[in-house]
Amino acid sequence: MLKNYVPFFLILALHLSCNKGIRKEDHDIKEVTYTRIAPKLDGIPDDSCWRKSKWHDLDQNWKGEPYSPDDFRGRYKLSWSTHALHLLLEVFDDSLFDKQADPLKLWWDDDSVEIFIDEDNSGGLHQYSHNAFAYHVALDGNVVDVGPSRKPMLYNNHLTIARRTIGEKSIWEMSIALYPDTYNDDNSQSRIILDKDKRIGFALAYCDNDGSMERENFIGSVFVPGDNKNLGWINADIFGTLVLVE
């Protein structure tokens, strides 16, 4: 089983060391089904696109000590339409914690969803560029990433979000606009029009904090080899690959 991850690991290591012209190797490949009618974003997953989409687990502990299903468990579905990628996320979390009121400070230590998007599935470094996005979606709906300015910025206009929480269960519905790696924070640019057979780099994660100074766990959707699994905010090679189908 281990040898299946060797090519991915070698390419990841080469990217981290030099990042010179090596394209990402596809892994964790998921087909995403087209919907003509985009979901109504209300936190109620009764839309037709969700009925025909498959659940995927959010269960890879990227950071933190082992946790129990009573503390956290999550799963998600995906769909696409011409203008957006659609995400349904179901989370059971025994404590929702939003310590930091300022959305641009320590956003990763609050309970939040993180969505990693590499529009052209090219992989590579993106910490201070828009080669890929790492959207941190806070409980209050603010969306944060760090761009070429090396400062956190709000990208609230890139996502449309709804969250409905009853007890320990939260349903998130989101529509995500995709932008090219030439995106410029100073200019308005058109979103990418999606079409069949397009490949998108994608990973999903959840920051879980039950009331501590820092998040206790960072739980992702894709396997990351090695001891340091918290690499998605730096390198898009760890993202899985979505394939858009009809």
CB 136 within 8 A of CB 197: no
pLDDT given for residue 242 in this prediction? 98
Cβ partners under 8 Å of residue 67, min gap 6: 61, 208, 216, 217, 219
Residue 62 has pLDDT above 80, yes or no: yes
pLDDT given for residue 22 in this prediction? 60
Radius of gyration (Cα) for the chain, nearest Å? Answer: 17
Burial class (CB in 10 A: 0-12, 13-18, 19+), 199: middle
pLDDT, average across residues 239-243? 98
Residue 3 has pLDDT above 90, yes or no: no
Paired sense of beta strands 29-33 and 240-245, if any:
parallel
Helix (H, G, I), strand (E, B) or coil at 127: coil
pLDDT given for residue 21 in this prediction? 45
Provide the pLDDT confidence category of residue 155 given band limits of 50, 70 and 90: very high
CB 153 within 8 A of CB 100: no
Residue 16 has pLDDT above 90, yes or no: no
pLDDT, average across residues 161-182? 97
CB 83 within 8 A of CB 196: no
Tens of pLDDT, residue by residue over 179-238, are 999 999 987 788 999 999 999 999 999 999 998 889 999 999 999 999 999 999 999 999
pLDDT given for residue 105 in this prediction? 93
Cβ count within 10 A of residue 64: 16
Residue by residue, DSSP assigns 90-107 as EEEES------SSTTSSG
Q: Of the candidates 175, 145, 166, 174, which has an alpha carbon nearest to the alpha carbon of residue 96?
A: 166
Written as six digits, the tokens of 160 are 């449309």
Helix intervals (H) in 76-153: none
pLDDT, average across residues 142-151? 95
Q: How many domains does the chain have?
A: 1
pLDDT given for residue 187 in this prediction? 74
Paired strand residues for 29: 241
Written as six digits, the tokens of 152 are 């956190």
pLDDT given for residue 19 in this prediction? 46
- Residue 38 structural domain: 2-245
What letter represents residue 4's amino acid? N
User: Which CATH number belongs to the domain containing residue 208 in this structure?
Assistant: 2.60.40.1190
pTM for this model (two decimals): 0.89
Q: What average pLDDT is seen over the chain?
A: 91
